Amino acid sequence: MDRNTNGIRRRSTASVGVDAVDRKLLGFLAEDATLSYAELGRRMNLSPPAVHERVKRLKETGVIRRTVAVLDPDLVGKPLLAIVHVDTQGWGKTPAMMRLAELPEVEEIHAVTGDTCLILKVRTAGPAALEDLLAHIYAVPGVRGTRSYIALRTHLERGTAAAIGLDGRDPVTVPMPAQESAASAGLTE
């Protein structure tokens, strides 16, 4: 219901109305949602009520989906991160996916293009737990095979935040250096 079931948005590209001030605000909130409205107002030359009004609107329109606490995977007992490619029979759809989504260790499930069908992001207590998890995955009907990539180190992990113009960077349009030469050089598959 809250979904944009209309399908087509009237406004230009993405926008239920997100102006530059909103983007800056979102940038701050996506990095630290505990900032007070007073502090936010100070940072962008606005009064607390004005900030409150914008945040309220952004939540209602769904731009801000929710506010969550980010936990340290190591400290909560899930030090092992793995990306798992899953090959399925046919185009999986939901029955199998639902099963996978029920596993607590599975954080993300994406249906993708390429030489695999599903990409999972999972966190387990260790290699043994990962093996158990893979056993569960294989037990799901329709699963033909998996290919796991174990993360040795995470160099970066942030929200959609940075994509916004937090630090004044232009958001939507990437700088782009030499798009034609480099792009056509060798990425076509």
| Residues near DNA (CB under 7 A) | 5-8, 10-11, 17, 19, 21, 36-38, 41, 45-50, 52-54, 56
* Site of tokens 């996916």: 97
Asked if residue 56 binds a copy of itself (CB under 8 A), the reply is no
The nearest distance, CB 170 to a copy of itself, in angstroms, is: 9
171 binds, among DNA, a copy of itself, none (CB under 5 to 8 A by kind): a copy of itself
Site for a copy of itself in 93-152 (CB under 8 A): 94, 97, 100-101, 103-114, 116, 119, 123-125, 129, 131-136, 138-139, 145-152
Q: Whole-angstrom Cα distance, residue 45 to residue 73?
A: 37
64 binds, among a copy of itself, DNA, none (CB under 5 to 8 A by kind): a copy of itself
Asked if residue 6 binds a copy of itself (CB under 8 A), the reply is no
Q: Which two tokens stand for residue 91?
A: 């185009």
Q: Which two tokens stand for residue 28?
A: 């701050």
The nearest distance, CB 119 to a copy of itself, in angstroms, is: 6
Q: Whole-angstrom Cα distance, residue 56 to residue 153?
A: 37
47 binds, among DNA, a copy of itself, none (CB under 5 to 8 A by kind): DNA
Asked if residue 62 binds a copy of itself (CB under 8 A), the reply is yes
Strands 80-88 and 118-124: antiparallel
Q: Are 22 and 56 in contact (CB under 8 A)?
A: no
* Burial 89-108, CB ≥16 within 10 A → b, else e: eeebeeebbebbeebebbee
